[in-house]
Structure 1
């Protein structure tokens, strides 16, 4: 049982470290507090789930599709949300508020399509 707890801790710690590394990479390169990163991370997981469970794709192909979808979502956030605000000279606070709005939208859409049950 101790080995199971140790394994779970290593896996969960690795996921948290990977998420923190991605958030840090985005912030240090763009200087945007990209809170919607969490929603994109969640959508990548759901896309992986859909491709594996419903479309019966292999794990590697599903994983690659989830990465592509997350990249498309991230680039879309930059192109349609952050770039217009930065072009207009808005403050970092308004960009952060728009990122929170995008996070709320992504979470609400995931609840709409997949429900509130953990998968």
Structure 2
């Protein structure tokens, strides 16, 4: 049933978009591709699981707490890894290689602590209510995932477009040196960006963990590939593009599973990505961006 598949695609695509927003935020402001974002996404799922299982927090509180935890991890990664590279004016390849090492380390730490097998949320934590109209069934979890994802995405969009903070971040994205000369606390906003991006990644991790009710130390790598695809598809550093690109990839995956084959899900989705990039190499909504001095 097409309507049911569209609902499923909206739920999946909104999580992809939320994950990609953190990715594109770091690239747009800091000018680096943080390849530890997938591992931070994975840690968000484990953090929420610990909060509901060990501390008996309600799900909404566990989501907020997991965002704070992953945001703090992102802040540490920025301070210990990205900041020294910025100070040395390292080439763009250096942060990518460094964050690959961070991702491997975080994945191994998670595997050592939690084991390699899948973990699940306790019974009764995930809402099981559903709404039905004829053959169409929408679960309360799907509604929650879509609502939370869109609220966070709209919040980021409003901050970037309507606030003084957003204007400062856009100024840094154009030229960090010029922003510094204008009196903007460039380094402080770099830290804030890393915190916010990691918090968004952690939120996406919680939502994916709830959606599939399966958490693994290795769940971050496939999502990292999807996130890279989304930000390239939407346009590097473009927030609107990350949102639309995430939804596009979600719809492409779900509809290919429903009407082509589950074995060809990624082939169809990434094949469409390849075709779009042949027509628009800078992405659907992006333009070729050059970071200025």
Tell me the TM-score normalized by structure 1.
0.89
Q: What SS does the aligned partner of 2:56 have? A: coil
Deviations 1:88-109 (A, max 9, x none): 2321111110010001111111
Query: How much does 1:6 deviate?
Result: 4.2
Query: How much does 1:3 deviate?
Result: 6.1
Query: How much does 1:9 deviate?
Result: 2.6
Structure 1, unaligned stretches of length 5 or more?
A: none
Alignment of 1:102 with 2:121, yes or no, is no
- Residue in 2 that maps onto 1:69: 69
Structure with the larger RCO, 1 or 2 (CA within 8 Å, 6+ apart): 2
**Aligned mates of 1:19, 1:102 — CA distance in 2:** 18
Q: Which runs of 4+ in 1 moved over 4 A?
A: 1-6
Query: How much does 1:71 deviate?
Result: 0.9
Alignment of 1:93 with 2:108, yes or no, is no
Aligned length: 119
**Aligned mates of 1:109, 1:100 — CA distance in 2:** 14
Tell me the TM-score normalized by structure 2.
0.38
**Aligned mates of 2:29, 2:108 — CA distance in 1:** 28
RMSD: 1.7
**Aligned mates of 1:28, 1:59 — CA distance in 2:** 31
Structure with the greater alpha carbon radius of gyration: 2
Deviations 1:41-77 (A, max 9, x none): 1111110011012221111221111011011011111
**Aligned mates of 1:63, 1:109 — CA distance in 2:** 22
Structure richer in helix, relative to its length: 1
Query: How much does 1:118 deviate?
Result: 2.6
